[in-house]
A and B are shown apart, each in its own frame.
Chain A
Amino acid sequence: MSNPTNDLPQATEHRLEELEKGLFTSDLSVNEFLLIKEVGFHPVGFVMGSSIYHTGIQTRKWSQSQELTKLTEAMYNARELAMNRMEEEAAELGADGVVGVRLDVNYYEWGKDAAEFIAVGTAVKAEDGVSRLNQLGKPFTSDLSGQDFWTLYQTGYTPQGLVMGTCVYHIAHRGIGQTLGTAGQNIELPNFTQALYEARELAMTRMQDEATRLGASGIVGVRLEEKSHQWGSHTIEFLALGTAVTKTSEEITLIKPTTIISLDN
Chain B
Amino acid sequence: MTSAPGDLPEAARRRLDQGAFSSGLSVSDFAACLEMGLEPVGLVQGFCAMQWGNYSMVGGIGRGSTPFGGSQGGYVENYQCPHGMISVEHRMFGQNYEQTWIEDSWREGFTNAYARMIEEAQALGAHGVVGVLDSESSFGEAGVIEFHARGTAVRVLDAPPPTQSPWSTYLAGQRLAKVFEAGYVPVSIVASVASIRVWSSCVTEYLMEGTTGMWSNSTGAVEIDQLVSAQSIARDVARSKVRAQLLGDALHGASLDVVTREFSKGDFEIQSHLSGNRVRRFKDVDPLDVPKPTVRLS
Mark A residues whose CB is within 8 Å of B.
34-35, 147, 150-151, 257-258, 260, 264-265
Contacts and interface: CB of A to CB of B under 8 A. Distances in A.
Interface of B: 28, 173-174, 293-297
Most buried by B among A260, A264, A265: A265
Contacts of B295: 35, 147, 150-151
Most buried by A among B173, B294, B295, B297: B295
Contacts of B296: 147
A264 B174 contact: yes
Given A147-B295, A151-B297, A265-B173, 11 more contacts: A34-B293, A35-B295, A147-B296, A150-B295, A151-B295, A257-B297, A258-B294, A260-B294, A264-B174, A265-B28, A265-B174
B290 to A, nearest CB: 13
B191 to A, nearest CB: 27
Contacts of A151: 295, 297
Contacts of A35: 295
14 contacts: A34-B293, A35-B295, A147-B295, A147-B296, A150-B295, A151-B295, A151-B297, A257-B297, A258-B294, A260-B294, A264-B174, A265-B28, A265-B173, A265-B174
A258 B293 CA distance: 12
A3 B293 CA distance: 42
A35 B295 CA distance: 9
Contacts of B297: 151, 257
Which 3 residue pairs are nearest across A and B when measured between Cβ atoms? A265-B28, A147-B295, A257-B297
Nearest to A148: B295
A35 B173 CA distance: 32
A264 B35 CA distance: 13
Contacts of A147: 295-296
Contacts of B174: 264-265
B181 to A, nearest CB: 13
Nearest to B35: A263
Contacts of A264: 174
Contacts of B294: 258, 260
A24 B78 CA distance: 48
A262 to B, nearest CB: 10
Nearest to B29: A265
A149 to B, nearest CB: 11
A41 B174 CA distance: 38
B87 to A, nearest CB: 42
A258 B292 CA distance: 12
Nearest to A147: B295
A256 B237 CA distance: 56
A98 B294 CA distance: 24
Most buried by A among B28, B294, B297: B297
A63 B246 CA distance: 75
A35 B232 CA distance: 40
A264 B175 CA distance: 10
Nearest to A31: B293
A136 B114 CA distance: 70
A90 B295 CA distance: 28
A222 to B, nearest CB: 18
A105 B295 CA distance: 31
Nearest to A151: B295
A264 B295 CA distance: 17
Contacts of B173: 265
A151 B295 CA distance: 8
A162 B177 CA distance: 46
B13 to A, nearest CB: 36
A150 B294 CA distance: 12
Contacts of B28: 265
